Structure formats: C-alpha cells, structure tokens
Amino acid sequence: MASKTEKKLNVQQAFEELEAITSWFEKEEIDLEEGLVKFERGLELARKLKARLGEVENRVSAIKAKFGDLMEAEPASEEESFS
C-alpha cells in the first residue's frame, strides 16, 4: 500500500525532478548504472504525472457537468447581474 506522502503528488516538484533527470541525460558522459536508476525514476514520475493529469481532467469534467447550465447561459449585462 502506498504511503500517505506518495498519495499526494506534488506536481510541480515531480515535474522539476523529471526535468532535472532529463538534463542529466543531456550531459556528454553519463554513468550507465546511474542512468538506469534515473531512467526508471523518470518513467515512474511520468506515469504518476500522467495519472494526476487524468484525475484533474476528470474533475474538470465533473465540475463542468455540475455547473453546465451556468456555463451555457448567455452572460447577463452588468446592470442585470447586480439587480
């Protein structure tokens, strides 16, 4: 079972770590063993970020469905909205 810290993904930190791994691979000389570890971590981060993005997309869809009638209505004039 995942720990509490793993459940709450900090998207910004995960993305920054993934960028750092990518930059590391852009160096001219890399260590093969360290590269394998970083490659695996990069794939793990990418999977988690993709899953989190899917969660956010689902939540946005649910919010749109919940408030769909408000989103489809024509905007009232400024005078009408505060009457």
List pLDDT tens digits, range 57-79: 999 999 999 988 787 766 665 65
- Residue 31's alpha-carbon distances to 6, 7, 25, in angstroms, are 28, 31, 10
Q: Give the pLDDT confidence of 14-59 residue by residue, as tens digits.
A: 999 999 999 999 988 889 999 999 999 999 999 999 999 999 999 9
Distance CA 32, CA 38 (A): 10
pLDDT of residue 3: 46
pLDDT reported for residue 1: 41
